[in-house]
Amino acid sequence: MTAIPPTTLQARRIGPTLLPDRSRVLTRPFRPSSDEISRRIVARVMAMPEEEAAASLRRVLGGFADRHRDVEVTFRHRFDQVSIHLPPGAEPSTLRQLLIGAYFTNEYAIESAALFNPSIVPHPDQSGLVPGSLRFILSLRATGEGHISSITFRTGVVTPDHRVVLAPNVPFVIEPDRTQGGAFAKGLFIHRLEEAGVRNEFCRRVLDRLHDDFTLRELHQVLLASGLTETSDATAVWAARGILLLAESNFEVTFPADSLLSQRVLFPSAPSQSNGIEDARFVRFVEEDGRVVYLATYTAYDGKVILPQLLETSDFLRFAFSTLNGPAVQNKGMALFPRRVGGRYAMLSRQDDENILLMFSDNLRFWQSHQVLLSPDQPWEFIKLGNCGSPIETAAGWLVLSHGVGAMRKYCLGAFLLDLEDPTRVVGRLREPLLSPNESERDGYVPNVVYTCGALLHGDQLILPYAMSDSAVSFASVPLDELLAAMA
pLDDT band at 2 (very low <50, low <70, confident <90, very high): very low
457 SS3 class:
strand
Helix (H) or strand (E) holding 223: helix 216-225
Residue from 248, 246, 252 nearest 189 by CA: 246
Query: Do residues 130 and 160 lie in contact, with contact meaning Cβ atoms separated by under 8 Å?
Result: yes
- 50: number of Cβ within 10 Å: 11
326 pLDDT more than 90: no
Distance (Å, rounded) from C-alpha 268 to C-alpha 280?
13
6 pLDDT more than 60: no
Residue from 153, 138, 148 nearest 109 by CA: 148
Beta bridge partners of 252: 179, 320
Q: Which of 126-140, 182-196, 300-314, 319-333 has the lowest average pLDDT? A: 182-196
Q: What is the per-residue pLDDT across 127-145, written as a single tens digit (0 to 9) for each? A: 999 999 999 999 999 999 9
pLDDT band at 242 (very low <50, low <70, confident <90, very high): confident
**pLDDT value at residue 231:** 60
Helix (H) or strand (E) holding 265: strand 265-266
Please provide residue 240's backbone torsions phi and psi, each rounded to the nearest 5 degrees: -60, -40
SS (HEC) of 286-320? ECCCCCEEEEEEEEEECCCCEEEEEEEECCCCEEE
**pLDDT value at residue 250:** 86
Q: Give whichever of 184-198, 224-238, 463-477 has the largest mean pLDDT.
A: 463-477
| Mean pLDDT taken over the chain | 93
pLDDT band at 235 (very low <50, low <70, confident <90, very high): confident
Scanning 48-122, the segments in alpha helix (DSSP H) are 50-64, 71-82, 94-103
284 pLDDT more than 90: yes
370 SS3 class:
coil
Residue from 106, 90, 104 nearest 144 by CA: 106
**pLDDT value at residue 272:** 83
Q: Which of 230-234, 249-253, 321-325 has the lowest average pLDDT? A: 230-234
Measured on CA atoms in the order 177, 183, 189, 192, is the torsion positive or negative? Answer: negative
* Mean pLDDT confidence for 324-342: 91
Please provide residue 242's backbone torsions phi and psi, each rounded to the nearest 5 degrees: -65, -40
Distance (Å, rounded) from C-alpha 430 to C-alpha 423?
17
Distance (Å, rounded) from C-alpha 115 to C-alpha 117?
7
472 SS3 class:
strand
Distance (Å, rounded) from C-alpha 185 to C-alpha 365?
14
How do 149-158 and 134-143 pair as beta strands?
antiparallel
pLDDT band at 241 (very low <50, low <70, confident <90, very high): confident
Distance (Å, rounded) from C-alpha 418 to C-alpha 133?
28
User: Burial level of 199, CB count in 10 A (0-12/13-18/19+)?
Assistant: middle
Query: Do residues 105 and 78 lie in contact, with contact meaning Cβ atoms separated by under 8 Å?
Result: yes
368 pLDDT more than 60: yes
Portion of the chain with pLDDT greater than 90, in percent: 78
Distance (Å, rounded) from C-alpha 161 to C-alpha 163?
6
Question: Buried (b) or exposed (e) across 446-465, using 16+ Cβ within 10 A?
Answer: ebbbbbbbbbbbbeebbbbb
**pLDDT value at residue 308:** 86
Q: Could you tell me the CATH superfamily of domain 12-19+115-175+258-485?
A: Glycosyl hydrolase domain; family 43 (2.115.10.20)
Measured on CA atoms in the order 347, 351, 356, 359, is the torsion positive or negative? Answer: negative
Give the residue with greater pLDDT, 249 vs 44: 44
Domain ranges for the chain, please list them: 12-19+115-175+258-485, 25-109, 181-248
* Mean pLDDT confidence for 108-120: 96
Q: Rounded to the nearest 10 degrees, how much is the dihedral formed by the CA atoms of 340, 344, 345, 349?
A: -120
Q: List, as one string, the DSSP characters of 390-422.
A: S-EEETTEEEEEEEEE-GGG-EEEEEEEE-SS-
